[in-house]
Structure 1
């Protein structure tokens, strides 16, 4: 078995990952504000009200394909003359007795017709009469009026997030604008005297701040407005001013670093002075220092706060598994269930002590069924493996990884909210 061989300290009182996730979802409350936006600006917004169908859809019986509309009772070996041509957008016509209609996809079905034959199954004789190969069933290739939706039926419920298909559905019913919940404003704070902005000259001991860049992208991906408060110095005054501003200007505060219990971890005392901590410490590796807190009187009346670890991979894991479902509920939608299915490990490894470990892995499909391999170094500071990983292999506490055994696998694609 491979492993870093580092001694691990088992911290008592850590929340189980799934318990912590449940607490995050239960603690979240949707934002209150509502605004009206044009449908073209509504992508990834959350509906504030139920939307009902304004039309029967389809509005009339119509053809599902290019072909010929006919009365089955009139179809015989002598064929049928083509009496009508019905393109899409035409009015509803009446099918003459003893004749058929050349019809195109989406065109209204002529009155009296009871089937449409695909053009691939039709031949025309020298006299232009239509002959059909094979049997035809009554109602074949007809889209019935209202078979998709009826006027007044629920199109989309409040809390639905508008993707491209949902916007197309609304557009098909003539909806031009929608009421949506206001975007969630998230104040983002990085702490650490060692942090500097990417693009600046680095002195010995300094570290480029990757967490803010990563979390800004993740929040934008989730449809949040980001209030970037930058890197805040590790002083009580600077932290107090930053958190007070975040409390007043944002719907949610996300900070990274400084929330542990070391001598140089100054964030937690400031949070407790301005609000409180709902819970701190989750039994996952990486991501143990995760905390949920608030700025104000309480978690539900104040501004909620998510404190992520300073190590970037731990911060990423904390956001994906715990922060994201909180944000989803805060946005007025349902938290997406965690997708997990068994995948065989292609390696052996010493298991974690006292915590679940979320190993960054890639999947090898060359043998037909997926096999998980480590994406690279598993340190909580190692972003290269996280950037390449297809997902996480979830290893229970105090369990070794055995090559060929199956473990729960969580694809990272589910976090692309």
Structure 2
């Protein structure tokens, strides 16, 4: 069995003690395997689920030629030779009308027209619609300039949106509201989706207390589990909250094995640094497989990635991918969005889309040390010309969670970059659509 460590050592820039962010992302991406189980769910329950198979149109959409606007349908042959002549006025006799859902079934002569509403089926032989605002009507006769409309104008063709047998939506898509409407327009009431990814998570630390418990001296309430729960739910993932686990080898071992037995991915917060009471590293040497322990990243340097098994040693029992996140609250969120999130998207069966980066002007000096990628919190605004500008939040401490609530973007500072002066251009990653 190839270990993660053996595989990772072949990756460019591999350094388990200070791995560049791009190298870490590449390693994680290679080991993120999509779930294979498929469920068939009613359309109303399919929002944010991952499509497991292509949706193929069973019919033409639209099913028939129809009018793109309110007006009069006629045969374009009547326009021949008129557009550039002096006698370019067209006069037609009204033969009837067509409404959406109520087509006109009669024949239409070249000297006749049919009153049509938007969405109504085009009458037989008619191929053009003149908008009603370009027409003068007198009783059952209409007149309009031949130069005002071209043959075939204002007609939607059958199959113009989706021809029969074409792929409407590709497998791997996370279904959005517009997708559900599109599927409904095809008459499909049930869709195949991947089963939801299951992620177990817990926090480690003797100083942590759950909500409702009294705070002893030196203790704090555990915020990381609530942040992780919310981030997982936002991704439509099944979260399994295993609570707070004490800094004791036996308790940690039991929690890790239980998590591996019940979930596809295990997330922990805290316990992966080099502290005296951090036992996670020791345990994973016994029944786990670790690719790296530390990143050249701020915040989020202590981050472990590997696999863990429910059995007594690697290869025994049920496996799960393992992410050991830092204990500091901001570092938990940054590492989740920059390292963990893409893996969860892939494992859910979806096609990952890279987060959009925008160019912004820094409004002040930003301190940055070369040799690590930094994700600083910032407040981005637009100036009078519509250009993005950004200001770092006053605190960049990885323990100040309020800075994440105050900010609306990450300021992404590349690995080799050093200090940024005021007025210099930087990349920003907006929270909207990400967090």
Shared fold (TM-score, shorter chain, > 0.5): yes
Q: Distance between the aligned counterparts of 2:122 and 2:325, measured in 1?
A: 61
Q: Map Cα deviations across residues 258-311 of structure 1 (whole Å, 9 max, x no partner).
A: 111110212222233221212121111101111111112369972111111110
Deviation (angstroms), 1:69: 0.8
Q: Distance between the aligned counterparts of 2:291 and 2:423, measured in 1?
A: 40
Deviation (angstroms), 1:223: 1.1
Q: Map Cα deviations across residues 55-99 of structure 1 (whole Å, 9 max, x no partner).
A: 111111001112111123336636222221101012462442122
Post-superposition, which runs of at least 4 consecutive aligned residues in structure 1 deviate over 4 A? 298-301
- Counterpart secondary structure, 2:89: coil
Q: Map Cα deviations across residues 132-190 of structure 1 (whole Å, 9 max, x no partner).
A: 35510111111101112121111222212211111111111111111111100100111
Aligned residues: 405
Task: Identify which of 170, 186, 194 aligns with 2:183.
Answer: 170
Cα 1:146–1:398, aligned 2, differ >3 Å: closer, same or farther?
Answer: closer
Q: Distance between the aligned counterparts of 1:117 and 1:375, measured in 2?
A: 58
Task: Identify which of 337, 342, 353 aligns with 1:336.
Answer: 353
Structure 2 equivalent of residue 70 of structure 1: 74
Cα 1:395–1:80, aligned 2, differ >3 Å: closer, same or farther?
Answer: same
Structure 2 equivalent of residue 8 of structure 1: none
Cα 1:110–1:26, aligned 2, differ >3 Å: closer, same or farther?
Answer: same
Deviation (angstroms), 1:333: 1.5
Task: Identify which of 133, 136, 144 aligns with 2:157.
Answer: 144
Structure 2 equivalent of residue 381 of structure 1: 399
Q: Distance between the aligned counterparts of 2:154 and 2:90, measured in 1?
A: 23
Task: Identify which of 86, 94, 102 aligns with 1:82.
Answer: 94
Structure 2 equivalent of residue 272 of structure 1: 285
Is the contact between residue 61 and residue 158 of structure 2 (CA under 8 Å) also seen in structure 1?
Answer: yes
Does structure 1 residue 390 correspond to structure 2 residue 408?
A: yes
1:7-406 to structure 2, matched below 5 A, reads: 13-74=17-78, 77=89, 79-91=91-103, 93-97=105-109, 98-125=111-138, 127-132=139-144, 135-296=148-309, 297=314, 302-368=319-385, 369-396=387-414, 397=416, 399-406=418-425
Q: TM-score, normalised by structure 1?
A: 0.92
Cα 1:254–1:370, aligned 2, differ >3 Å: closer, same or farther?
Answer: same
Is the contact between residue 95 and residue 113 of structure 2 (CA under 8 Å) also seen in structure 1?
Answer: yes
Deviation (angstroms), 1:312: 0.7
Unmatched 5+ stretches in structure 1: 1-10
Q: Distance between the aligned counterparts of 1:78 and 1:114, measured in 2?
A: 16
- Counterpart secondary structure, 1:179: strand
Deviates more, 1:220-229 or 1:15-24: 15-24
- Counterpart secondary structure, 1:413: coil
Is the contact between residue 293 and residue 299 of structure 1 (CA under 8 Å) also seen in structure 2?
Answer: no
Q: Distance between the aligned counterparts of 1:349 and 1:248, measured in 2?
A: 45
Is the contact between residue 27 and residue 299 of structure 1 (CA under 8 Å) also seen in structure 2?
Answer: no
Deviates more, 1:380-389 or 1:311-320: 380-389
Deviation (angstroms), 1:202: 2.5
- Counterpart secondary structure, 2:118: coil
Deviation (angstroms), 1:398: 5.5
Q: Distance between the aligned counterparts of 2:316 and 2:128, measured in 1?
A: 62
Is the contact between residue 53 and residue 154 of structure 1 (CA under 8 Å) also seen in structure 2?
Answer: yes
Q: Distance between the aligned counterparts of 2:209 and 2:241, measured in 1?
A: 14
Unmatched 5+ stretches in structure 2: 1-14, 80-87
- Cα RMSD after superposing both structures: 2.1
Structure 2 equivalent of residue 3 of structure 1: none
Cα 1:131–1:202, aligned 2, differ >3 Å: closer, same or farther?
Answer: farther
- Counterpart secondary structure, 1:290: strand
- Counterpart secondary structure, 1:180: strand
- Counterpart secondary structure, 2:302: coil
